Amino acid sequence: MTFAVTTRLLRMETINLGKADGLPPVDWAVVVEKLEAGSAPALEAVNSRTTWLCTLNEDGSPHVTAVGAVWVDGTFWFQTGATRKARNVARDPRCSIAVSIRDADVVVEGAALQVTEPSAVARIAKVWADNGWPAEPDASGSGITAPFNAPSQGPPPWQVYRIEPRSATVVLSAEPGGLTRFAFGQDRGSSSLTR
């Protein structure tokens, strides 16, 4: 499977889960701005923005692990080596990523798709490098390498994955509060996955 970097047009349904409590719906555009800015949960919380990936083990139980994910082109991207999460998404791509940002907690659910297209891998490696982790494409162009990674990732090259979002749930922690679920559907005529 390869991912071709294209502009995706998504339909979005907004479901205000806090309506019964008088809460306004969350503004998805504000959430996206904070994700794009790499917003920390609090102004003084330097490097405290951990993203948590949940995949499904073979028996259906959840496997949750911290990952160095980045938000690019309206979704999360992560990398991994020969790990349990890689085996899990190869067998069943359903997953979720959770993160705290300024004034909100965000969970994005979808499918993890391995990205092997060299220009997409190079572009995401540059995002990681620009954020302090010196990742670069490997010799094949379809994976990444770096002088270091979490020891559990094993030796390079590491595979890059992109979450194809199906939904997101956002809980606002600042007044007036809010709890909203966003369901995403790909519009006809746009394609982002090449097999």
The one-letter amino acid at 173: S
Residue 89 has pLDDT above 90, yes or no: yes
Query: In this structure, are residues 135 and 127 in contact, taking their beta carbons and an 8 Å threshold?
Result: no
d(CA 177, CA 111): 29
pLDDT for position 49: 66
pLDDT of residue 46: 58
| pTM of the predicted structure, to 2 decimals | 0.82
What is the distance between the alpha carbons of residues 66 and 77, in angstroms, rounded to a whole number? Answer: 13
Amino acid 193: pLDDT:
36
Please, are residues 57 and 84 in contact by the beta-carbon 8 Å criterion? yes
Q: What is the pLDDT of residue 50?
A: 83
- Residues 37-43, mean pLDDT to the nearest whole number: 75
Residue 30 has pLDDT above 80, yes or no: yes
pLDDT given for residue 187 in this prediction: 52
Domain enclosing residue 36, as ranges: 2-194
* Greater model confidence, 187 or 186: 186
**Total number of domains constituting the chain:** 1
How far, in Å, CA of 166 to CA of 185, rounded? 7
Residue that is written with structure tokens 């904070």 in the block:
34
- Provide φ and ψ at 11, rounded to 5°: -80, 150
Helix H segments across 39-195? Answer: 84-91, 118-130
Mean pLDDT of the chain: 86
Q: What is the pLDDT of residues 144-173, one digit of tens each?
A: 999 998 888 889 999 999 999 999 999 998
CA–CA dist 115, 125 (Å, integer)? 12
CATH label of the domain that carries residue 147: 2.30.110.10
165-185: average pLDDT: 92
Taking 80 as the threshold, does the pLDDT of residue 90 lie above it?
A: yes
**Cβ(79)–Cβ(161) under 8 Å?**
yes
Span 167-183, average pLDDT: 93
Indicate whether 25 pLDDT > 80.
yes
Find, among 85, 13, 78, the residue nearest to 56 by Cα: 85
Buried b / exposed e over 125-158, threshold 16 CB at 10 Å, is beebeeeebebebbeebbbbbbeebeeebeebbb
Average pLDDT of 47-70? 90
- Which candidate, 50, 15, 1, 3, places its Cα nearest to that of 192? 3
> Which one-letter DSSP state was computed for residue 75?
E
Q: Is the peptide bond before 176 cis (omega within 30 degrees of 0)?
A: yes
Is it the case that residue 38 has pLDDT exceeding 90? no
List Cα–Cα distances, 38 to 41, 47, 125, in angstroms.
10, 10, 16
Determine the pLDDT at residue 171.
95
Cβ neighbours for 45, distance < 8 A, ≥ 6 positions apart: none
**Confidence check: pLDDT of 194 > 50:** no
**Confidence band for 114, pLDDT divided at 50, 70 and 90:** very high
